[in-house]
Structure 1
């Protein structure tokens, strides 16, 4: 059962760093926060020196005053444990707590997240500061909860200190038991890599061709995730014991971390840091008709798979940039509000802006907050006030409602981590997830992400009309059997190229592709080829009576052979030596259908499959929306809330097919045209 944030009223707030500002500003800051409708602040996550200025000497006077004053102003405080930034006295005395690069270069004090999770010394210091803080604030009426550390695996998500190598060996001993089993799992007979003593075993180290043993590299990612969770557990268990009535979370969604397991095992709910303007820096901006900030809805869907109702601990409120990188443009008028509603539409029931005021010194002097350096009114403050006023009216009604979707894109951590090294399947997933997310969004079909895990049950799959599992190269027999049951029960399942040819060790199976789901799909892969980067991909030609034009079969091509006459070929390749061979098939299995596509999914192919799957927009029967507008539905009991989000910088018009209530405007809307301003938002009641 997923862990979720449980609140009766939507909570709006901001990140605040009292230690960075003169105390004379605090009261006025808090007063203005309340005027904006804020009810919660986060603080303390970078302030270890203020809690422990010297080893073993704990002081709380600064934060006592800051928290007491916040409480007097009616603000709840989420208090961060400050372990993301160990103090200089600690790293100077114990340099072994510092992280080390793959090449063996030790990080030095400065920036943040320069430590490693494995150091027993660092874990001991983290336990001590956490215990001191938890004892002191366990019963403080102003402390409403805890954030453990900050953005786990941000900045660096690989660790190669001596303590990490030692911890990896211990982890492997527990996982495999014997060196014989380890050698078998890692295939060390290849190129004479076999180990005869545990001390010979390490995390990946530099190799001549920069290509480690792939099975060792997969276990490395599994270890890093387990080790990070183990590091957090030290602090969580202390807070649970000493402050059992204060909920616990942590923030961020970063690589080499099973955030689902972390949340299930340790947290009360998951928190995310949402910065949609990163999309202006990434590859999406170079595509035709890019999603840009709308792409963050895809990220939020992944967050929702961890906690259906979650907290956004840091919501972008201004232009972003460090002094040396990550320069982002300023949000246009309305975009901060749009991004807020984007987060809420996807399940956020608590949202804090980053940050109250832009830092006037340090690395993040260009990572702007709501207030500028001058502390005078600006348009972002005015926008925040509008948002606070709106959520003061509708926050209680919407809080606790859940995002509704009939389609899910399926992911798993093993394929994500294995695909970082394996260039024959790793790059396919990003391409396909982008193609599907774009197609579903622009066709106004809400979707979830569903992570396949050892605990995943048939009931979780059966909630969805269709599942898209683009490229699960690694697939266990247990997962294959579960997917068969889903399809047999009436589900529709879509696979892409390279499905099922590896086992959970990352070994290639000595059986026809697609391995354990060959029977389900009714096909075998008779040939395959990589489409080289920059090379022209062949088109596919539809042969099932559809009217679509041909679409490029990008990245990789599996050439399919139906295994029986009941398998229908929907499209064939229209070029290269395999022209006329099946590219997309559909097989009946029990009460459902399994599709296999021999390439990565583009939006054009996904659009064609949306029609063949019979997927309908969430607006069917009550509205017609332009493509610029995203639709999200949240449900609670008999009430349904429709969020309409206009991502374009121009006004657009939707069409209502029946009367409905506009919750933000507080008025009844007649059927007919509905104007939505540039970067505008509508929240409609569909009860």
Structure 2
């Protein structure tokens, strides 16, 4: 990502505050009321026209910009900036009716019909022709408008159409494979097509991994995931090139979805393609809900290279797409928002401004709810706007790097959860989140970073389920440890190279010598089985039959029962001033705590919090500002941190200037 060209082109820096705004859903008379309420709430920016293609182009080649002109002019007159969408997220009914060949096809050959959203193939040349024509028309019309401070390409690219198995996708997949492998011999070797008589003799024989009689080729599956992410990225570039050509001074972004199990897009490969990273995040219920929010915000901030980024969407209260949609508790709206700010967000925006009367998201919360401005929710929104205004000094401030980091890798996520593996219960992101929760519980700040991050700047690097380890990455990790870094990795790490080929000689493959251990056979656990460890913790999901290959390896915990009784479960090999540790079972945050405590002590990385606050608050740092975030539903005394107010309310946030 290039040096950020932030949204404010003039005036004092500020934290932006706003939402998606859909004036085309409402009569014109409502718009004036909207902007008055926006001013009351402290709104500074809105994202406009995201799902407006049918309104902007009611028939092929016929444009209606009058309503959008009016909306942008009204917002500008009231001091509200516009993040203008290219409106290409969902094609209008006339387009899919006239050109049904743009509709995606699932792996079973079923057409994904209109009626929802994002019903288009990322590789469809017909869709691209019509969409890019609209992008050009919008850019030409609004290139000089002073309200437009950013371009918003499409919306949540890949949210509902990341995997398309159509003939268009098959043709594009073959082109992608030719570029990657050059020859069929190279492809056949990479995919191991000697197995099950799958050898290809012509490029046209290759198709996406559609529904097959049994498990599709794993190399084909992994490459199709890479291709699908790249196909969406290519579409992003196509829109961006037009916007660059016509409006070179207006920054371009698209909203990522770093959250939960959304994994189809390799955002580490996307981040350099936008002028500033933006993200959508929605909390999922569960015991780690708040920690997952922090994890995602942390990762987003590091995808942005530590530079400020834009929280494009989150919710003021309940969403509408979970099985049960509960409202947020008092304080959660501000805490959730400020957690993103703590991890580098310079904008806090929601879906959406005014809660819809009709449509699939009418029960999704908004800044202005169905109850109107005379509501607790709108008062909380207004209070947040005022609070953000007091933090304007933060704008432009980069994140402060931690001493520890968790390595996050999308291809390892994809590959580790493919079929025909030792277990289908493995969840890559959950393991990473468990480590993050453990850092939070111990009061130790940790970054969540992609593979391209400067690993050498961290004292401790945790690489959970780093399944894919190409030779060059193995060398980087070896150099990291040799230079004094402390690496921690887990079960099912180092197993395969970039082609999903197993590193021979015993597990953990590419990391075997660095760790000083050798494993002949995996020993995953059945549902309900557990593996007690000698340090009093209990493993689930996975175990390994570990042999030590270096006498310098220290056994930190052993298995207590069963076939593995007495064998190592957690190991650490000292390498000069560095070390390489291995955790062979899923321990969860409670079980990881004693392991991580020991590893951090030996690495010389202390807690950032006094003992009485560990596990209760998160401490995040951004420049001279420390954010203390209450992870609990109880008030907490934080006087030990030098806060002006000694008591942090339940779900509260304190911002302390150093």
TM-score range, shorter chain: over 0.9
Aligned match for 2:132, one of 121, 127, 134: 127
Aligned match for 2:82, one of 71, 77, 88: 77
For the pair 1:68 / 2:56, whether they are aligned, the reply is no
Give the deviation of 1:4 after TM superposition: 4.8
Aligned match for 1:561, one of 547, 555, 572: 547
Aligned match for 1:258, one of 262, 266, 271: 266
CA distance in 2, matches of 1:484, 1:51: 55
Q: Which string of whole-angstrom CA distances, capped at 9 and with x for unpartnered residues, describes residues 196-225 of structure 1?
A: 22221100111223x211111000101001
Give the deviation of 1:252 after TM superposition: 2.7
For the pair 1:471 / 2:455, whether they are aligned, the reply is no
For structure 1, which segment, 21-30 or 132-141, has the greater mean C-alpha deviation from structure 2 after superposition? 21-30
State the 4+ residue runs in structure 1 displaced beyond 4 angstroms.
1-5
CA distance in 2, matches of 1:80, 1:618: 41
Kindly indicate whether the alpha-carbon contact (under 8 Å) linking 1:471 and 1:498 is maintained by their aligned counterparts in 2: yes
CA distance in 2, matches of 1:490, 1:452: 19
Partner of 2:38: 33
CA distance in 2, matches of 1:105, 1:432: 34
CA distance in 1, matches of 2:422, 2:521: 14
Aligned match for 2:339, one of 338, 342, 367: 342
Q: Which string of whole-angstrom CA distances, capped at 9 and with x for unpartnered residues, describes residues 165-219 of structure 1?
A: 111111111111122221111111111111122221100111223x211111000
CA distance in 1, matches of 2:376, 2:36: 19
Partner of 1:451: 450
| Paired positions, count | 641
1:402 partner SS: coil
For structure 1, which segment, 365-374 or 644-653, has the greater mean C-alpha deviation from structure 2 after superposition? 644-653
1:520 partner SS: helix
CA distance in 2, matches of 1:54, 1:245: 31
CA distance in 2, matches of 1:516, 1:376: 59
Kindly indicate whether the alpha-carbon contact (under 8 Å) linking 1:13 and 1:40 is maintained by their aligned counterparts in 2: yes
Partner of 2:584: 598
Kindly indicate whether the alpha-carbon contact (under 8 Å) linking 1:624 and 1:654 is maintained by their aligned counterparts in 2: no
What is the CA RMSD across the aligned residues, in angstroms? 1.9
Aligned match for 2:622, one of 628, 634, 640: 634
For structure 1, which segment, 43-52 or 525-534, has the greater mean C-alpha deviation from structure 2 after superposition? 525-534
CA distance in 2, matches of 1:521, 1:425: 23
CA distance in 2, matches of 1:83, 1:66: 19
Residues 368/102 of structure 1: CA separation in 2 closer, same or farther (3 Å cut): same
Question: What TM-score, normalized by structure 1, do the two folds share?
Answer: 0.90
Partner of 2:117: 112
Partner of 1:656: 640
Give the deviation of 1:390 after TM superposition: 1.7
Give the deviation of 1:5 after TM superposition: 6.6
Partner of 2:352: 355
Instruction: Please give the residue correspondences for 1:368-407 in structure 2 after superposition, counting only pairs within 5 Å.
Output: 368-397=365-394, 399-407=396-404
Partner of 1:415: 412
2:297 partner SS: helix
For structure 1, which segment, 604-613 or 442-451, has the greater mean C-alpha deviation from structure 2 after superposition? 604-613
Residues 190/326 of structure 1: CA separation in 2 closer, same or farther (3 Å cut): same
Q: What 5-or-longer segments of structure 1 have no aligned partner?
A: 543-549, 663-668
Partner of 2:193: 188
Aligned match for 2:105, one of 95, 100, 105: 100
For the pair 1:267 / 2:268, whether they are aligned, the reply is no
Give the deviation of 1:582 after TM superposition: 1.3
Kindly indicate whether the alpha-carbon contact (under 8 Å) linking 1:410 and 1:469 is maintained by their aligned counterparts in 2: yes
Kindly indicate whether the alpha-carbon contact (under 8 Å) linking 1:625 and 1:655 is maintained by their aligned counterparts in 2: no
Aligned match for 1:364, one of 361, 366, 387: 361
1:656 partner SS: helix
Q: Which string of whole-angstrom CA distances, capped at 9 and with x for unpartnered residues, describes residues 220-259 of structure 1?
A: 1010011111111110000011011111111132422121
CA distance in 2, matches of 1:466, 1:2: 28
Residues 111/158 of structure 1: CA separation in 2 closer, same or farther (3 Å cut): same
Residues 375/311 of structure 1: CA separation in 2 closer, same or farther (3 Å cut): same
Give the deviation of 1:398 after TM superposition: 5.1
1:684 partner SS: strand
1:485 partner SS: helix
CA distance in 2, matches of 1:137, 1:489: 53
1:229 partner SS: helix
Give the deviation of 1:405 after TM superposition: 1.5
1:183 partner SS: helix
For the pair 1:677 / 2:655, whether they are aligned, the reply is no
Q: What 5-or-longer segments of structure 2 have no aligned partner?
A: none
Residues 36/303 of structure 1: CA separation in 2 closer, same or farther (3 Å cut): same
